[in-house]
Amino acid sequence: MSTTVILSINKDPIIASSNLQVHLNHLSEWYDIWRVKINQNKSIYTTFTLKQGICPNITLINVVIPKSDTVLDKILTWEKHLQTKRLTLNNRMRMLRPLLIRNKGSTLNTKLIMYKSLLKPIWTYRLQLWGAAKKSNTNRIQTSQNISFRRLANAPPYISNHALHNDLYMKTIVEEAHIFYTRFHKRLQTYLNPLIKDLSILTLPGNPIHRLKRK
C-alpha cells in the first residue's frame, strides 16, 4: 500500500484531532472488512501550530499513533530538531561504543559500515529539508560526525577533520545535503501528481521572480 497523508485543519486543536480521528475510524473499518493488516508503529502524526496547546492522541485500530520525531520551531531554523538529533546520536554512540571503539578486533572498514548502517541514517533522515539550515545549526551534526570518525580511526589530535573525511572517503554534512536534495529534486519531476511535480521548479508556482530594490 502506498503512503497516505491525511490533513485536518481547524483553529481548535481538539476539533482538528477529532476530525482526524473520525477519518481514521472509517479507515479502521475498511481495513477490517478487507482484512488489511496495518503496522501502527510506521504511522506518525505531526501537529503544525504556533499556539501553545496539546492535541489529543490519535489512534488507529485502538493503537496510539506515535508523534513525529521532527521538531519544528516557530521560524523553521531547525535548531530544536538538530538538538534532538544530536542527543539521539550521542545516545546511540554510547550504546555502540563496545562495537565501534573498544572492539579492537574489527577493522576500520567494518566500523565504517556499522557507522553508515546504525548512525548515519539517524541524521540523514529528512536531510533534504533541514540541510538548508544555517551553519551554526548543521555544525551540531557535523561535530558529532567528526568525533565519531576520530574515535573510529583512533586519530591523534593533530589530524584535521578535513583529512579524516578524505582518508575515510566520507562526505561532510553540507556535501551530503547537496547530494540528497539534488536526488530528491530530480525524483520530483517523474511524479504524475501535478501538485508534487510543481515542486521541482526552481521558483514558486505562479510567483514571478522579484528583484530587490537597490539602496
Q: What is the pLDDT along the chain (215 residues), one digit of tens a residue?
A: 467 888 888 888 889 899 999 999 999 999 899 988 888 878 888 887 777 677 888 998 888 888 886 777 777 789 988 999 999 999 999 999 998 888 888 899 999 999 999 999 999 988 988 998 989 999 999 999 999 999 999 999 999 999 999 999 999 999 999 999 999 888 888 888 887 777 777 665 566 566 656 65
SS3 state at 79: helix
What is the per-residue burial (b if ≥16 Cβ within 10 Å, else e) of 95-112? ebeeebeeeeeeeeeebb
By the 8 A CB rule, do 12 and 34 touch? no
Residue 112 cell numbers, joined: 565504517
Element (H, E) at 63: strand 63-64
Alpha carbons 172 and 139: distance in angstroms, whole number: 10
pLDDT of residue 13: 86
Alpha carbons 49 and 181: distance in angstroms, whole number: 26
Map out the domains of the chain as residue ranges: 13-64, 79-180
Indicate the pTM of the whole model: 0.72
pLDDT of residue 11: 86
pLDDT of residue 132: 87
Alpha carbons 172 and 162: distance in angstroms, whole number: 9
